[in-house]
Amino acid sequence: MKNYSIIRLFVCIVLIQSCQQDDVPSTPDPNLFLGSWKLSSSTFDGAESMEINDCTKNSILLLYRFSEDNPSSNAELYDYALNETGECIVVQSIIQATWYSETTFTNTGNISQATVLRYITQQGETVNLTLERVGEFLTATGNATLNESDTTINRTYIKLGQEFP
C-alpha cells in the first residue's frame, strides 16, 4: 500500500511538471510592431515583385492602435510605383487592414502564437500575413490567392519611427 502511495505521488509530480506555464508560447508584445515601416524588399513566389527604387522605396506599412480605450489594432499599407509617364503614384492603398495576435491549436495538441496582418486588396482578395520582428526589420510572410493564383508573399520592412502625430 505504501508503494502504491509513492507511485501516485510520483505520477502527480510528473503530471504537474509536464504542464508548466513554459509549455504555452508567449504572445508577441504588440508594442514591438507599432510604428511606421518602410518597404525594403518584396517577393511573390520567390521572385522580386517590385524593384526597390526611388519611387517604390516610399511604400509604407503603418501599424497603430486608435486608443487605449479601444484596443483593436489597425494598419494601413501604401505601395508606390512609376506609372507610364514616369510619375511616382500610389498603386495600392489599403486603409482598413487589421493586425492581431492569434493562437493556433493543432490536432496533435501543439499551441503556437503569431501576430497576423489581414487585409483585403482593392480586387477583393483576402491576404493573411504573419508578422515577425527581428531588430529594426519586420517580415510579413504568408500565402494568398491573387488573380486566381495561389501566391507566397514575403515582404521585409525597416523601422522608420515609433510615434504617430
Give a yes or no: residue 20 inside a domain: no
Place of cell 479601444: 70
Give a yes or no: residue 19 inside a domain: no
| Residue range of the domain that includes 57 | 29-161
Total domain count for the chain?
1
Four-residue CA torsion sign, 143, 153, 94, 146: negative
Give yes or no for a contact between 114 and 84, defined as CB atoms under 8 angstroms apart. Answer: no
Tens digits of residue pLDDT in 81-121:
999 999 999 998 887 788 888 887 878 878 878 888 988 88
Tens digits of residue pLDDT in 2-17:
565 655 655 555 555 5
pLDDT band at 159 (very low <50, low <70, confident <90, very high): very high
Give a yes or no: residue 15 inside a domain: no
Give a yes or no: residue 125 inside a domain: yes
**What is the reported pLDDT for 21?**
46
Give a yes or no: residue 24 inside a domain: no
Q: Round to whole Å and give the CA distance between 89 and 80.
A: 5
Q: Round to whole Å and give the CA distance between 113 and 130.
A: 10
CATH code for the domain in which residue 54 is found: 2.40.128.20
Give yes or no for a contact between 100 and 115, defined as CB atoms under 8 angstroms apart. Answer: yes
Give a yes or no: residue 49 inside a domain: yes
Give yes or no for a contact between 60 and 75, defined as CB atoms under 8 angstroms apart. Answer: no
pTM given for the model: 0.72
Tens digits of residue pLDDT in 15-44:
555 544 445 545 567 677 888 999 999 998
Q: Round to whole Å and give the CA distance between 157 and 134.
A: 10
**Helix or strand holding residue 16 (H, E):** helix 2-18
Give a yes or no: residue 22 inside a domain: no
